[in-house]
Amino acid sequence: MTLRTATAVIDLNALTNNFRLIQSLSPNSKVLAVLKANGYGHGLERIAKALPDADAFGVARIDEALALRAAGIVKPIVLLEGFFAKEDIDVLAIHNLQTIVHNSEQLAAIVDAAVKKPLKVWLKIDTGMHRLGINPGQLSDFYNALSQSNNVQQAIVLMSHLGCADEKDNPVTPKQLALFKELTADKALEKSLANSAGVLAWPESHYDWVRPGLMLYGVSPLASGVSVNGIAPVMTLQSSLIAVRDIAAGEAVGYGGAWVSEKSTTIGVIAIGYGDGYPRHAPNGTPVLVNGRRVPLIGRVSMDMITVDLGCDSHEQIGDIATLWGKGLPVEEVAEFATTIPYELLCNITRRVHIQLA
Ligand SMILES: *Cc1c(COP(=O)(O)O)cnc(C)c1O
């Protein structure tokens, strides 16, 4: 008897195809593939090595960038939140990492540093999301300081980030697009604005560099689970049935007896739980695929197990494969049941989940 435990099956061909679709949608742009949070749970180095045609990689933490360098990745790497400490500036120079600058502390640290080599800088402007970025009124000061500094490689890249691009009718995005265009029109520099939703829904946002994350992994970045033709999920999360049990009407299942059967039925116990990254708050009725058949989750999600209602006519057996999301069951749909977003489900996959290449 060999039962499969929680396994993320990673389909690198799907990744390649998703990447090509992004290229074909934004044919005049270079692609900065976003690999933060362990490649959205798919494995940082694995994904980097499977994207030989990416023009650059984007990460959120310097440790992620250093892990890529240690794995032999030589492509440009951009720190999407910039550096967090003055001491990091030497690390950037030594490891040839590019940094975003979004505040005056970072600007001063760069201008005042004794750098070993000029740094490549992306200047981030806040065009309306109001998270990171300099205010539009600060642009000329920052631009002048960076373009006059010997510590900075010329030319810099101008960028901003879209806050609502996943909603096609949201009026915030046209405003952000117009402001970015106006602020950067007189500068013959490379520019970057689009995340995955920008690539798909806002061609005006493409500029010189697109920065897709979620879409690379074959998941729709559009709101309300609007699906995207031509992408396929890279991760399929699976496990197996480790028990199949007949339950009489009125019996409670799992912690807290939170689910009670209305009629006699057969339940399946699947070896996956929140300890693997399956969301604990997934409610009764969240779909699970067992032998390709949709069955509802019942009862509370445990650390190592979940239970599903297989129905009274089921023929499932111990060892049969269950798919929690991926091919045949979009993670977008599971996220909606769990009142979260696919990003969170993917990057919450824990270390004990086995990785298997498709
Ligand atoms: C995460 C991130 C992206 C990618 O966003 P997706 O929605 O996953 O495509 C792009 N740009 C920046 C600055 C980011 O932080």
pLDDT in tens, 101-113: 999 999 999 999 9
Same domain for 267 and 184: no
Domain boundary, last residue among 175, 190, 220: 220
Q: Is residue 40 part of a domain?
A: yes
pLDDT tens-place string over residues 140-195: 999 999 999 999 999 999 999 999 999 999 999 999 999 999 999 999 999 999 99
- 66 and 155 co-located in one domain: yes
CATH number at residue 255: 2.40.37.10
Check residue 163 and give its pLDDT: 97
Instruction: Examine residue 338 and state whether it is found in any structural domain, yes or no.
Output: yes
C-alpha atoms less than 13 angstroms from C-alpha of 356 in its C-beta half-sphere: 12
Residue 84 counted as domain residue = yes
Q: Are residues 188 and 320 both part of a single domain?
A: no
CA 57/CA 59 separation, integer angstroms:
7
Q: Which residues are catalytic?
A: 36, 255
Q: Write down the pLDDT at residue 225.
A: 76
What SS3 class is residue 207?
coil
Ligand 1 cavity residues, CB under 6 Å: 34, 36, 80, 161, 195-196, 211-215, 221
Ligand 1 center to residue 66 CA distance, Å?
A: 19
Q: Of 282, 277, 290, 300, which is closest to residue 347 (Cα–Cα)?
A: 277
Q: Is the pTM of this model over 0.75?
A: yes
Do 58 and 192 have their domain in common? yes
Q: Does 66 share its domain with 196? A: yes
Range of the domain at 307: 235-357
**Cβ atoms < 10 Å from Cβ of 81:** 17
Q: Identify whether residues 107 and 195 lie together within a single domain.
A: yes
Average confidence (pLDDT) over 110-118: 94
Give the whole-angstrom CA distance, residue 302 versus residue 254.
Answer: 8
Determine contact, residues 180/160, Cβ cutoff 8 Å: yes
Q: Which helix (H) or strand (E) holds 111?
A: helix 104-112
Question: Residue 226: is its pLDDT beyond 90?
Answer: no
pLDDT band at 224 (very low <50, low <70, confident <90, very high): confident
Q: What percent of the chain is predicted at pLDDT more than 90?
A: 97
Query: Residue 197 maps to which CATH number?
Result: 3.20.20.10
Over residues 270-324, the pLDDT tens digits come to: 999 999 999 999 999 999 999 999 999 999 999 999 999 999 999 999 999 999 9
Among 211, 219, 341, which residue has the most ligand 1 atoms within 8 Å of its CB, making it the best to mutate? 211
Say whether both 130 and 202 belong to one domain.
yes
The DSSP 8-state label assigned to residue 102 in this structure reads -
Position in ligand 1 atom list of the atom nearest CA 343: 8
**Separation between Cα atoms, residue 294 and residue 226, nearest integer Å:** 20
pLDDT of residue 2: 84
Mutate-to-test residue for ligand 1 from 80, 180, 228, highest number of ligand atoms within 8 A of CB: 80
Within a domain: residue 87?
Answer: yes
- Whether residue 119 sits in one domain with residue 40: yes
Measuring CA to CA, which residue among 91, 251, 4 is closest to residue 79?
Answer: 91
Please give the pLDDT value at position 290: 98
CA of 149 to the centre of ligand 1 (A): 28
The pLDDT of 28-50, averaged and rounded, is 98
Place of tokens 């890249």: 157
Arithmetic mean of pLDDT, 21-33: 98
Which ligand 1 atom lies nearest to the CA of residue 199?
9
Look at residue 116 and tell me whether its pLDDT is greater than 90: no
Total number of domains in the chain: 2
Residue 6 placed within a domain: no
- The amino acid occupying position 198 is G
Single-letter code of the amino acid located at 284? N
At 196, the amino acid letter reads: S
Show the tokens assigned to 6.
Answer: 């929680």
Residue 229 confidence class, pLDDT cut points 50, 70, 90: very high
**pLDDT score for 89:** 96
